[in-house]
């Protein structure tokens, strides 16, 4: 007997996620994407446009975020839009644009997969498969991604409890995919002053209760450029393993989420401020390990 949300009347919530529970892997999970490690001592920043709109916009953004020190390029080609009349993403041609832009700057890619049928195509070009907030409880999609041997970025649902988010991750691990990155992107509350309410305590809780890396998306969490930097710094202080941030060279012309896009200049400013906060919590921006013999020779 239990009325707790997400419990569905079965076992106690804490026991319903044995595979994501920290006790199952006390040393923690480090997800590797190329050379980048997410969940280790290095803090990882993913950045790029909300949506891939064309080659020029994507290459400009990729060049700018890479120059500022981003580690992973983001960009949606299949966009889950509230309105059926809004730009739905470039689809497959956009994926080729994204891959080309990422190749030129040498960054791995994170991009959203909306349905199981898109997995083979996405897995061919993308390094991290993103499950969007609106799909957090798309169980057939989670099951299918459980069978994929690629990292999955699992966003917390718009109105998902912490426990429901954990159980969505459990689906992926239960399917055999241990390379899961959790992403807090703000939840719906009674508050209307911001796009969503960033639940930073859930980040600290997820770090405590699970062995999975946890990142924060301050772009969707706040919906406002002025709030992105302070919340990004707060996320770093709260123990997040990284960030995912929307950047656009001309936010006013963006086809999707332009109101919350950082300009490349603002993104660069954030990247300059992060090391100070990370230092205070014994972390640093991710950088390749320098082999001991090389480091010693310096």
Q: Which residues bind ligand PEP (CB under 6 A)?
A: 50, 76, 80, 132-134, 155, 185, 217, 220
Nearest CA among 149, 156, 91 for reference residue 117: 91
Output the smallest distance, CB 12 to ligand PEP, in A: 29
Nearer to ligand PEP, 54 or 80 (CB): 80
- Smallest gap, in angstroms, from Cβ of residue 34 to ligand PEP? 21
Q: Which of ligand PEP, Mn ion, none binds 247 (CB below 5-8 Å, type-dependent)?
A: none
Q: Say how many C-beta atoms besides its own lie within 10 A of residue 171's C-beta.
A: 24
**Phi and psi (nearest 5°) for 246?**
-90, 130
What does 185 interact with, of Mn ion, ligand PEP, none (CB < 5 to 8 A by kind)? ligand PEP
Q: Is the dihedral of CA 137, 117, 80, 242 positive or negative?
A: positive
Residue 80 binds which one of ligand PEP, Mn ion, none, with CB within 5 to 8 A depending on kind?
Answer: ligand PEP
> Interface with Mn ion includes 257 (CB under 5 A)?
yes
Shortest reach from residue 256's CB to Mn ion, in Å: 6
CA distances from 51 to 20, 38, 195, 224, 285 (A): 31, 23, 18, 17, 25
Q: Which of 117, 105, 4, 96 is nearest to 59 (CA)?
A: 105
Residue 158 or residue 277: which is nearer to ligand PEP going by CB? Answer: 158
Contact 106, 80 (CB under 8 A): no
Select from ligand PEP, Mn ion, none the partner in contact with residue 270, using the beta carbon and a kind-dependent cut-off of 5 to 8 Å: none
* 50 part of the interface to Mn ion, by CB under 5 A: yes
Residue 195, binding choice from Mn ion, ligand PEP, none, Cβ under 5 to 8 Å by partner class: none
Tokens of 183: 């992403």
**36 membership: H or E segment, kind and range:** strand 36-38
Min separation Cβ 185 and Mn ion, Å:
9
Residues 6+ apart with CB under 8 A from 155: 130, 131, 132, 133, 136, 183, 185, 217
Least spacing, CB of residue 78 vs Mn ion, in Å: 12
Contact 144, 119 (CB under 8 A): yes
Stretch that binds Mn ion, among 26-34, 42-50, 86-94, 98-106 (CB under 5 A): 42-50
């Amino acid at each position: 007997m239990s009325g707790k949300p997400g419990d569905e009347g079965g076992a106690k919530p804490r026991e319903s996620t044995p595979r994501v529970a920290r006790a199952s892997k006390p040393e923690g999970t480090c997800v590797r994407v190329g050379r980048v490690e997410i969940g280790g001592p290095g803090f990882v920043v993913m950045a790029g446009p909300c949506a891939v709109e064309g080659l020029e916009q994507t290459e400009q953004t990729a060049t700018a975020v890479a120059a500022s020190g981003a580690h992973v390029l983001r960009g949606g080609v299949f966009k889950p839009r509230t309105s059926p009349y809004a730009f739905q993403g470039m689809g497959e041609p956009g994926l080729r644009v994204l891959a080309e832009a990422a190749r030129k700057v040498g960054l791995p890619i994170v991009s959203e997969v909306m349905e199981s049928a898109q997995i083979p195509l996405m897995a061919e070009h993308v390094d991290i498969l993103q499950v969007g907030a609106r799909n957090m409880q798309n169980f057939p999609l989670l099951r299918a991604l459980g069978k994929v041997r690629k990292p999955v970025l699992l966003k917390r649902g718009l109105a998902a409890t912490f426990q429901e988010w954990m159980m969505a991750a459990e689906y992926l691990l239960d399917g055999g995919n241990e390379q899961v990155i959790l992403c807090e992107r703000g939840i719906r509350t009674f508050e209307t002053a911001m796009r969503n309410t960033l639940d930073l305590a859930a980040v600290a809780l997820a770090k405590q209760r699970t062995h999975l890396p946890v990142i924060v998306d301050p772009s969707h969490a706040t919906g406002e450029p002025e709030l992105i930097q302070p919340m990004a710094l707060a996320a770093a202080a709260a123990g997040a393993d990284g960030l995912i941030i929307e950047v656009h060279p001309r936010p006013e012309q963006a086809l999707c989420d332009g109101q919350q896009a950082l300009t490349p200049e603002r993104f660069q400013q954030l990247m300059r401020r992060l090391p100070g906060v990370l230092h205070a919590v014994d972390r640093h921006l991710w950088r390749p390990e320098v082999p001991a013999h090389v480091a010693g020779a310096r």
